[in-house]
Amino acid sequence: MSVAIVTDSTAYLPPEAVREHGIRVVPLHVVIAGKEFSEGVDVSTAEVAEALRAFRPVSTSRPSPQALLDAYEAAAGAGADAVVSVHISAAMSSTVESAHLAARHAPVPVHVVDSRSLGMAMGYAVLSAARASSAGEDANSIAAQALARSEAATVVFYVDTLEHLRRGGRIGAASAFLGSALAIKPILALDDGHIAPREKVRTSTRALARLEELAAAAARSAAADGWDGVDVAVHHLDSAVRADALAQRLGERLEGLHDLRVVELGAVVGAHVGPGTIAVAVSPRPAQPS
């Protein structure tokens, strides 16, 4: 059986990985001052950061069911017998809903996976799915592996301000931080697909130190739970110097580290978290069969 892997642009997978594994990526959309763009196609993160700083209206939208159906039909046309379609948390976007709608009309069975995550926490799960597909596993097994890996991931992040999350309606329980937002630097986390408050610190330096500590704790927990080490991505929006420094410290500190990369957040997630954001995704790696 040939199983194609489809995901969306918020996985922020490196282009070379997409090409190597034949992954089909469907873009989400960003609307800046009334003009719509496709993430990863015709808008840059720098343009989004500039618009946010200038207080120009920025919003995002899911891919249409037709766009996902096009991807499923193309996969079937290329010889796939089934599709595993892995997407951004349904608590953050209605992309999963579009995928389910498209799956009803697809020419081959489509297994839709709500990753309950985003960024490379989802991206590493997509790569696991692609490797399982290459190994000849069936669609049910591939979908289960993608979900297990995305659910095991830890995502913690620091934002310069909660304002962008508030405007986009993604703040959830983190709204508890709003009362003292000017006096604190919030550390947030993904909790079952939702953005949740983790803790408050007073300076950006302390916030970055806490991200390092939380990432190290997640790596230790993965080892204790029997995973084969971790893959780690440091995400940022318009904050490359700080992201590089954090990645270097993590590379020196973490045991069982396989893959470490710095990945700029794309336009869609960047529109909600704002410039200056630093995030760490720690993805436990499944043990390889002997």
**Cα angle, residue 52 at apex, residues 46 and 56 outer, rounded to 5°:** 115
Hey, which bits of 28-163 come out as E strands?
29-32, 35-38, 58-61, 82-87, 110-114, 154-158
Q: What is the per-residue pLDDT across 236-281, written as a single tens digit (0 to 9) for each?
A: 988 999 999 999 999 999 989 999 999 998 888 888 778 889 999 9
How far apart are the C-alpha atoms of 193 and 132, rounded to whole Å? 24
With CA atoms as reference, report the closest residue to 58 among 40, 32, 27, 28: 32
For the record, the structure tokens of 199 come out as 């803790």
Structural domains in the chain, CATH included, are 3-28+63-149 (3.40.50.10170), 154-284 (3.30.1180.10)
How far apart are the C-alpha atoms of 241 and 87, rounded to whole Å? 29
Q: Could you read off the pLDDT tens digit of each residue along the chain, which spans 290 residues?
A: 799 999 999 999 999 999 999 999 999 998 988 889 888 888 888 888 888 888 888 888 999 999 999 999 999 999 999 999 999 999 999 999 999 999 999 999 999 999 999 999 999 999 999 999 999 999 999 999 999 999 999 999 988 766 655 555 445 544 545 444 455 778 889 998 988 888 888 888 999 999 999 999 999 999 999 999 999 999 998 899 999 999 999 999 998 999 999 999 888 888 877 888 999 999 999 876 54
Contact residues for 268 (Cβ-Cβ < 8 A; gap 6+): 9, 10, 28, 29, 30, 39, 60
| pTM as predicted | 0.91
Contact residues for 147 (Cβ-Cβ < 8 A; gap 6+): 113, 114, 115, 125
CB 149 within 8 A of CB 125: yes
